[in-house]
């Protein structure tokens, strides 16, 4: 033990002396205390002292002279050790002065090796030998020297480095068990400058050995130690890098153990680690680096779920959103942003407990997302509304569901706009978004809320951009609230909204008198009074409008004059309203446009009478009113009325009168926007009148003039069908051919038209034209089931023609010539049917297989039934018969083979006429096998 203490003091003294010598000699390389050149602990800076430069060569010469003159063995060994150390210093100094030149340390190695042989248990010599060998590029020999220290001097002051370097070597050669053992032993020895690195390497060794749980705990122990010193961000660079690498190692461990779900299992029952968020962050970042974006986002969000009130939760939630965005997972981005708003927005518990600094940070994240989410829900609501508007009234349930979904989306958008306004009340972007909120509330049917928001934009914010629009919308929404109020509502509520509506109109006119809608707003207010039966007030409002400055224009004067007519109109006295509008015509003067407008209002009153008459469906009285409008002048509303009359006549199935009114409409309104739509109605009428040719003519007109390409295409096809129905084959053929040429797409419908041509040409006996279209069908490249079916059908038809030609040929003398022709016909037929087989459609496959078999059977039979030469004697005739049989036999065998292949399709569940006929043919070809009497076996349970 005393020798060990002396050795340790001796080593420390020598190392310090070497460091001083090197410094005194102004070496550029610092004294290195480890084999891997890891920096050791640093001493406090000393006072500046000038140290005379040491000449290592002179020192070596002095020690050599001392060695020669000294005869004491122990003293000689010390001198030789000093010479070896000086040689190492010389070489290191040489290396430092010439870093780009390789320096051989073999001379130092030889010195230490000789000393090691003489003093095999000296740990210092072994340590220096190991270092010299390492610098000389002898890692294995260096390791053996370290191993010897471990074996002979387990308490050596170098033992911790020995264990570390040996562990490193084991790790590098992938002996992770041995590496872990050395690192663990080093850690068990206690305080050591290698402790952090050893624990780090131990964790990686355990990881490489697939001991993921143990490795995880080891990494966590290291991070616990590092975090006790300082937060990771504040650690010195080396320790910070160690912490970052350890977090990456933990990410790998967690990923192998199932991901984010296992992280909490390492927290135990106590409080989570102060750096718990770093664990989730590391795993999420690792997943993101590996492009496992969904796993990355889920990891961040797992932390959010686990620690919803954590200060780091919003940042990790933000990372999840950014990850989903960068991965292009658009369908998951908005839900994640929406959850962020719910968790951290102004309505959340998190917000309520956050300090102002946290809230300010949250505002930066919430501002763009609140607007984005609100506008997304707004757009979605608008799309649902548009979709609902397209649903016919007969699908009431579907329409109602879409409308309810739209209302929900509008309300969701409004709430987000409201959160934005509450979160950023002073922000200049708030008024426009409050305006959008009002629009959403209006669309959702919350007219009271919409009115309040519109009023806020118009008269609280005084927004210059949207103020006028908001003020005008306040008029409209307050009116809509009135419409919502039930008759049994509190009269005070009804009066309140009545007053608000009027007040909004008046305030709008007062706030924006130059707005072109200001005077109309007054007139609307008057109109609302009329709707509420407040006739005198309506007149007063109209009088105020009449005194407006600048004065109302002529049209507005006319509108004021027409208030009486509107009053009667709103009361339902449409006959009286008709009279009032007649008086208004007197105010129109000679202005044609105004007169026409007054006339249209007159006709509108009549039209409403028609509507009342037909409230429960088409009626004779209603039709009379509609046709009276037509007789009062050919105006736009008259055209609409006549158009409606045509529709009602169709509903009443009064086809002849509907046809007459339709013809009259076309005569008087050839350029009207509704005229093109009459062709479709004419088709209905002519079909009802069983006039397919006339219907076809209308369809041809649609095919030429309708702006919708789909309508033109369908009309042309229907025209061809109608001509076909009418028996007009020429027109039908022409229409189908036009369709095929004009509309190559959709490809399947084009093929159907070709198919119809095949049928029409067949019916008219035009075989050549039919075959040409069969060739087209057979060669079509449409890969849909129908396309392939029609191709198979056409090819089958063509093959059948080849078969009929083949079957019709008879073998005559001279046999060789006729047989050659027969075989050529057979080859053609076989090739055609093989094309059919390529489509692999069961219906045609069994047919083709049957025909192919029959081709060979037919040839076999024809050979046996062919003419015999008349100049043969009995023996020659017999030999001739044998020759025929030898030629016919292979064809019959081929026929049997193909028929048997066809009947095997019964195993696939296919038993059609062609399979059945194959059975019949086999019954004739092989009666012993295929024409057996069926026998029924009784079931016995004796064996059971």
Residue 210 in domain: no
Is 769 in the same domain as 712?
A: yes
Highest mean pLDDT among 307-316, 393-402, 750-759: 307-316
Is 6 in the same domain as 153?
A: yes
Mean pLDDT, residues 871-881: 74
Mean pLDDT, residues 397-424: 95
Residue 576: both structure tokens together: 């009286």
Residue 778: both structure tokens together: 């057979």
Is 254's pLDDT higher than 90? yes
Residue 710 in domain: yes
Is 626 in the same domain as 597?
A: no
Mean pLDDT, residues 808-817: 78
Q: Between these two residues, 68 and 376, which has the higher pLDDT value?
A: 376
Residue 486 DSSP code: -
Is residue 774 within 8 A of residue 796, CB to CB? The reply is no
Domain end, chosen from 671, 690, 709, is at: 690
Is 3 in the same domain as 139?
A: yes
Mean pLDDT, residues 102-118: 83
Is residue 67 within 8 A of residue 76, CB to CB? The reply is yes
Is 883's pLDDT higher than 80? no
Residue 796: both structure tokens together: 């089958």
Closest CA to 119 of 63, 173, 167, 76: 76
Is 628 in the same domain as 647?
A: yes
Mean pLDDT, residues 780-792: 87
How far is the CA of 257 from the CAs of 177, 218, 250, 254, in angstroms? 21, 15, 10, 5
Q: 550 — phi, psi (to 5°)?
A: -65, 160
Is 562 in the same domain as 682?
A: no
Is 573's pLDDT higher than 60? yes
Range of the domain at 30: 1-37+50-157
Is 141's pLDDT higher than 90? no
Is 102 in the same domain as 60?
A: yes
Can you give the pLDDT at residue 836?
Answer: 86
Is 734's pLDDT higher than 70? yes
Percentage of the chain beyond pLDDT 90 is 31
Residue 745 in domain: yes
Burial of 649 (0-12, 13-18, 19+ CB in 10 A): buried
Q: How far apart are CA 99 and CA 704, in angstroms?
A: 89
Residue 212, C-beta contacts closer than 8 angstroms, at least 6 positions apart? 206, 253, 256, 257
Residue 207 in domain: no
Instruction: Identify the band that residue 37 occupies on the pLDDT scale cut at 50, 70 and 90.
Output: very low
Can you give the pLDDT at residue 678?
Answer: 82
Domain end, chosen from 773, 803, 827, is at: 773
Can you give the pLDDT at residue 54?
Answer: 67
User: 3-state DSSP call for residue 33?
Assistant: coil
Is 100 in the same domain as 6?
A: yes
Residue 198: both structure tokens together: 């050893």
Domain end, chosen from 773, 804, 829, is at: 773
Residue 780 DSSP code: -
How far is the CA of 727 from the CAs of 219, 763, 812, in angstroms? 89, 11, 46
Q: Which helix (H) or strand (E) holds 630?
A: helix 620-631
Mean pLDDT, residues 565-592: 78
Number of domains in the chain: 4
For 599-643, the pLDDT digits (tens) are: 888 888 889 989 898 888 888 888 899 988 888 788 888 899 989
Highest mean pLDDT among 334-338, 647-651, 714-718, 892-896: 334-338
Is residue 600 within 8 A of residue 635, CB to CB? The reply is yes
Instruction: Identify the band that residue 434 occupies on the pLDDT scale cut at 50, 70 and 90.
Output: very high
Residue 690, C-beta contacts closer than 8 angstroms, at least 6 positions apart? none
Is 1 in the same domain as 107?
A: yes
Residue 905: both structure tokens together: 């399709």
Instruction: Identify the band that residue 17 occupies on the pLDDT scale cut at 50, 70 and 90.
Output: very low
Question: Any idea which residue has 């965005």 for tokens?
Answer: 325
Can you give the pLDDT at residue 416?
Answer: 97
What average pLDDT does the chain have?
A: 83
Q: How far apart are CA 375 and CA 247, in angstroms?
A: 40
Can you give the pLDDT at residue 197?
Answer: 95
Question: Any idea which residue has 């490489």 for tokens?
Answer: 208
For 449-481, the pLDDT digits (tens) are: 999 999 999 999 988 899 999 999 998 999 888
Residue 586 in domain: yes
Residue 296 in domain: no
Is 73 in the same domain as 5?
A: yes
Mean pLDDT, residues 881-898: 78
- CATH number of the domain bearing residue 745: 1.25.40
Residue 535 in domain: no
Can you give the pLDDT at residue 38?
Answer: 33
Residue 419 in domain: no
Q: How far apart are CA 337 and CA 143, in angstroms?
A: 57
Is 652 in the same domain as 684?
A: yes
The number of helix segments (H) and strand segments (E) in the chain equals 43, 0
Is 680 in the same domain as 707?
A: no
Residue 455: both structure tokens together: 């009023």
Query: Does the pTM exceed 0.85?
Result: no
Q: Which helix (H) or strand (E) holds 618?
A: none
Q: How far apart are CA 24 and CA 12, in angstroms?
A: 18
CA angle, residues 363, 368, 374, in degrees to nearest 5: 110
Instruction: Identify the band that residue 807 occupies on the pLDDT scale cut at 50, 70 and 90.
Output: confident
How far is the CA of 186 from the CAs of 5, 149, 196, in angstroms? 20, 14, 11
Can you give the pLDDT at residue 5?
Answer: 37
């Amino acid at each position: 033990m005393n020798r060990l203490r002396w050795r340790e003091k001796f080593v420390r003294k020598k190392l310090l002396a070497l460091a001083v010598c090197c410094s005194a000699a102004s070496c550029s390389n610092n004294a290195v205390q480890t084999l891997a050149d890891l920096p050791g602990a640093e001493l406090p800076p000393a006072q500046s002292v000038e140290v005379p430069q040491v000449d290592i060569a002179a020192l070596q010469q002095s020690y050599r002279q001392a060695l020669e003159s000294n005869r004491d063995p122990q003293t000689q060994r010390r001198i030789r050790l000093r010479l070896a150390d000086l040689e190492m210093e010389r070489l290191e100094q040489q290396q430092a002065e010439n870093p780009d030149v390789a320096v051989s340390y073999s001379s130092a190695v030889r010195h230490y090796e000789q000393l090691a042989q003489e003093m095999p248990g000296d740990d210092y010599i072994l340590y220096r030998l190991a270092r010299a060998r390492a610098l000389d590029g002898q890692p294995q020999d260096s390791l053996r020297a370290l191993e010897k220290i471990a074996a002979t001097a387990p308490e050596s002051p170098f033992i911790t480095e020995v264990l570390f370097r040996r562990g490193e070597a084991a790790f590098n050669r992938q002996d992770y068990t041995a590496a872990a053992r050395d690192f663990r032993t080093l850690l068990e020895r206690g305080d050591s400058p290698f402790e952090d690195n050893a624990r780090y390497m131990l964790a990686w060794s355990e990881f490489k050995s697939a001991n993921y749980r143990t490795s995880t705990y080891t990494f966590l122990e290291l991070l616990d130690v590092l975090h006790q010193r300082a937060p990771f961000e504040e650690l010195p660079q080396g320790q910070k890098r160690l912490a970052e690498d350890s977090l990456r190692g933990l990410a790998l461990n967690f990923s192998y153990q199932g991901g984010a779900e296992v992280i909490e299992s390492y927290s135990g029952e106590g409080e989570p680690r102060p750096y718990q968020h770093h664990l989730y962050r590391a795993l999420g970042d690792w997943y993101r680096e590996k492009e496992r974006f969904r796993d990355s986002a889920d990891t961040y969000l797992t932390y959010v779920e686990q620690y919803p009130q954590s200060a780091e939760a919003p940042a990790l939630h933000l990372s999840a959103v950014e990850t989903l965005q960068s991965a292009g997972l658009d369908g998951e981005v908005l839900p994640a942003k929406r959850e962020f708003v719910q968790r951290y927005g102004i309505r959340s518990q998190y917000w309520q407990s956050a300090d102002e600094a946290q809230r300010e940070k949250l505002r930066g994240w919430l501002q763009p997302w609140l607007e984005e989410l609100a506008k997304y829900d707004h757009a979605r609501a608008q799309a649902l509304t548009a979709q609902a508007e397209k649903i016919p009234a007969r699908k009431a349930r579907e329409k109602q569901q879409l409308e309810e979904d739209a209302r929900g989306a509008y309300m969701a958008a409004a709430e987000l706009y409201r959160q934005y306004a509450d979160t950023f009340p002073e922000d200049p972007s708030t008024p426009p978004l409050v305006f959008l909120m009002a629009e959403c509330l209006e669309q959702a049917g919350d007219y009271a809320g919409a009115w309040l928001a519109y009023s806020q934009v118009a008269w609280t914010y005084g927004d210059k951009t949207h103020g006028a629009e908001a003020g005008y919308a306040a008029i409209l929404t307050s009116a809509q609230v009135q419409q919502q109020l039930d008759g049994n509502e509190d009269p005070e509520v009804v009066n309140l909204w009545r007053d608000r509506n009027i007040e909004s109109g008046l305030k709008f006119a007062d706030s924006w008198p130059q707005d072109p809608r200001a005077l109309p707003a007054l007139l609307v207010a008057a109109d609302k009074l009329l709707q509420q039966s407040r006739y005198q007030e309506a007149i007063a409002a109209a009088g105020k409008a009449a005194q407006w400055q600048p004065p109302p224009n002529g049209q507005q004067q006319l509108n004021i004059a027409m208030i009486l007519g509107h009053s009667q109109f709103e009361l339902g006295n449409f006959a009286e309203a008709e009279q009032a509008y007649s008086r208004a015509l007197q105010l129109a003067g000679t202005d044609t446009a105004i007169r026409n407008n007054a006339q249209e209002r007159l006709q509108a009153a009549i039209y409403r009478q028609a509507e009342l008459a037909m409230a429960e469906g088409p009626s004779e009285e209603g039709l009379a009113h509609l046709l009276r409008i037509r007789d009062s002048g050919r105006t736009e509303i008259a055209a609409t009325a006549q158009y409606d009359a045509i529709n009602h006549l169709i509903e009443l199935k009064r086809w002849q009168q509907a046809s007459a009114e339709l013809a009259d409409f076309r005569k008087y309104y050839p350029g009207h926007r509704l005229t093109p739509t009459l062709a479709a109605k004419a088709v209905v009428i002519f079909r009802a009148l069983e006039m397919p040719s006339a219907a076809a003519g209308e369809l041809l007109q649609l095919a030429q003039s309708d702006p919708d390409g789909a309508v033109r295409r369908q009309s042309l096809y229907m025209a061809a069908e109608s001509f076909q129905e009418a028996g007009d084959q020429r027109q039908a053929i022409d229409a189908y051919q036009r369709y095929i040429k004009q509309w190559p797409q959709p490809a399947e419908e084009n093929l159907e038209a070709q198919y119809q041509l095949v049928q029409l040409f067949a019916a008219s006996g035009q075989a050549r034209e039919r075959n040409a279209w069969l060739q087209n069908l057979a060669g079509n490249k449409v890969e849909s089931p129908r396309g392939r079916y029609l191709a198979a059908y056409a090819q089958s038809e063509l093959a059948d023609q080849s078969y009929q030609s083949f079957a019709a040929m008879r073998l005559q003398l001279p046999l060789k010539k006729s047989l050659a022709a027969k075989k050529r016909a057979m080859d053609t037929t076989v090739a055609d049917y093989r094309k059919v087989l390529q489509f692999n459609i069961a219906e045609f496959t069994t047919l083709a297989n049957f025909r192919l078999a029959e081709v060979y059977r037919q040839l076999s039979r024809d050979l046996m039934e062919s003419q015999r030469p008349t100049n043969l004697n009995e023996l020659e005739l017999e030999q001739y018969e044998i020759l025929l049989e030898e030629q016919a036999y292979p064809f019959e065998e081929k026929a049997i083979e193909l028929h048997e292949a066809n009947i095997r399709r019964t195993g696939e569940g296919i038993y059609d006429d062609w399979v059945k006929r194959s059975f019949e043919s086999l019954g004739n070809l092989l009666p012993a096998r295929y024409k057996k009497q069926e026998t029924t076996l009784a079931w016995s349970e004796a064996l059971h």
